[in-house]
Each structure stands twice: as C-alpha cells, then as structure tokens.
Amino acid sequence: MKAFIIDKYKSKDGGRIGQMPDPEPQGDEVLIEVHAAGINLLDSKMRSGEFKLILPYKTPFVLGHDVAGVITKVGARVHQFKVGDEVYARPADHRIGTFAELIAVNEADVALKPAKLSMEEAASIPLVGLTAWQALIEKGNLKKGQKVFIQAGSGGVGTIAIQLAKYLGATVATTTSTANTELVKKLGADVVIDYKKEEFGKVLHGYDLVLNSQDGKTLEKSLRVLKPEGKLISISGPPDPDFAAEIGAPWFVKLITRLLSAGVRKKARRLNVGFSFLFMKANGLQLKEITSLINSGTIIPVIDKVFPFGAIHEAITYVESGRAKGKVVVRIK
C-alpha cells in the first residue's frame, strides 16, 4: 500500500510517500480503506521526536491519527461492524498510521461515520472531538451555568470545544485573532478576546475551567483567571506525574514528568486551583456520542483546507504555521 513513512526522527525530508506492506487485521480489528485523514499538530510533533520519550515508535512507521473510510475486512472476533460500513476513528497510541491507503484499527476505537458528513468532514473530527470531550466532560466535569475559557477558539480543538461547551450549558470565553472573531461567535463563544489587542488576564476572572493549548507563559497567566478550586486542563504540556502513572511509564520518565511540571503544580497549589495534563485516548464509545451530536446538528466540523495525498508535506507545513481555521485534511482516496 502507499503510505507516508517516517524513516528517521527529525529527518531533513520530513517523511516520504512510499510503499509499506498491507496490514492484516487481528481478531478484534477492522481493516479500513482510508478515504481521508485529518492532520494534527501532534503529527508534526511526533515526526520531530518531541513525544519520543513517552510514545516511542520504531522506525520506519506511518504517521497519522485521524481516519475516515470504509471497512474492507473484519477480524474473527469483531461483532460491531461489517464489511462496507463507513466509519471513522482515532487509532490507539502505538497503532497510528492513517496517512496510508489501509489501516487496521481495534473495533473498540471505531465508530460509524456521521451520516450527514463527507469523508473529509468526518476525518477532521476524531482527535479534536475526543480531546474536547475528555477535557470538558471526563476530566473537567463541566456543568450547566459554569464558565470555561477555551484558548485558540478558531483552532482544531477550539472549534469543537466551544460547540461542546455551549451544548453543556456553559458560558464560553475564547481567544482568537481579529480575522476569526465572527467564526468563534458563530460557534457559540460568549466572550471573545482579540489576543492582538487585549490581555485575557485583564478581562477574565472567576472561571471554573480552562482548556489550555498554548505555551507555558500563557498557562501560568491562565491559572489566575480561575476561581478557587477551579481546574486548568492542559493539552500542550507539561506532562504531570498522574499522566506518567496512567501510561505505566518507567521510573525515569515519571521523574522527568515530575520535574517538568513541578513549577506549574506549585503555582496551582498556591492559587488553590487544579492543574492536570491531558493526552487524549482513542475511544469508540465517546466517538459514538460525538456522532449523535453531529447528526443532531449540535456540532459541525470546521475545515480550512483539503489537500491531495501527494501534497501531504505542504499540508503538514500549513498546520505548523498556526494559521488554519479548524482542521486540515488530506484526501487519500
């Protein structure tokens, strides 16, 4: 099969399109013919080796974390899906590889594609949708009437998180540029801060939850917009000891995460607020819940550009630029 292959971390060519053996699904897996794949900043960080300590991949490996396509084969123990089903998924860690013509995915990580979405639209959802769900619902326990600050509202996670937070009945504040103000308002943001014109720290106070996706400096400022016992959930780091324990990391990784997060955890304790790191996990049941919200019109995908597979280098570079509104997708088939 044709695939986008990483032969070496931090390689000068940044990966190549080449041939890899067709995957063979195991008993609990489905084989998906990939029609489209979403591109995430995580893909760029993965190929540069930024997550090599906590997610080591043996090279060569195929990149890609979002998939939409059609099932062409099912394992002997698969009961939820059949050949011909249109599905989408975020494959589990260590089983990624959606920038390819085929991928085998555990059925527990797969959901039927939302009926009203195209393959490209569906491929834009899994990673950012699950990130928003796990941050706001699973970890954040966001409730009706609470206030949440979602950074970078026009980004991939932001566009979905705003819509999910509004569905939950929360008041939503976000940051964006002047050009994207109307977009985030349309998605449901109540308080929109143009980060080029004003400091969010001077505007926001007494928030219950912050979804942090920016740098360390922004994270520290964000702790101060929380009310006592409020929570900050960061998807951009630093990883904390709870995360290291959750993934069963070796002792030296646990030590490193403790040191990396020591400063922010200390500041959070001083302010009487909570801090936690989220590295989202594959979850077909949660994706099924998200599908229901999409089919009802509660959540709509936001796509900036669709690239052909042959232009995948350009697509990743565009995502790295930080200019994309919503998601960038590659059409495989």
Task: Tell me which CATH homologous superfamily contains domain 128-277.
Answer: NAD(P)-binding Rossmann-like Domain (3.40.50.720)
User: pTM of the prediction?
Assistant: 0.97
Residues of the chain with CATH 3.90.180.10: 2-125+301-331
Q: Is the pLDDT of residue 12 over 80?
A: no
Identify the pLDDT of residue 216: 92
User: CATH 3.40.50.720 in the chain, residues?
Assistant: 128-277
Q: What is the pLDDT of residue 134?
A: 98
Q: What CATH number belongs to 2-125+301-331?
A: 3.90.180.10
Residue 50 pLDDT grade (very low, low, confident, very high; cuts 50, 70, 90): confident
Instruction: Render pLDDT for 196-235 as a digit per residue (tens, 0 to 9).
Output: 899 999 999 999 999 999 999 999 999 999 999 999 999 9
Exposure string (b/e) for 162-200, b if CB count within 10 Å is 16 or more?
bbbbbebebbbbbbbbeebbebbbebbbbbbbebeeeeb
Q: At what angle do helices 126-133 and 284-295 cross, to 10 degrees?
A: 100
Q: What does the pLDDT look like over 136-162, one tens digit per residue?
A: 999 999 999 999 999 999 999 999 999
Mean pLDDT of the chain: 96
Average pLDDT estimate for 262-276? 97
Alpha-carbon span 162 to 128, nearest angstrom: 12
Residue 249 or 119, more confident: 119
Q: Cβ contacts of residue 38 below 8 Å, gap of 6+?
A: 65, 66, 98, 123, 124, 125, 126, 127, 128, 156, 327, 328, 329, 330
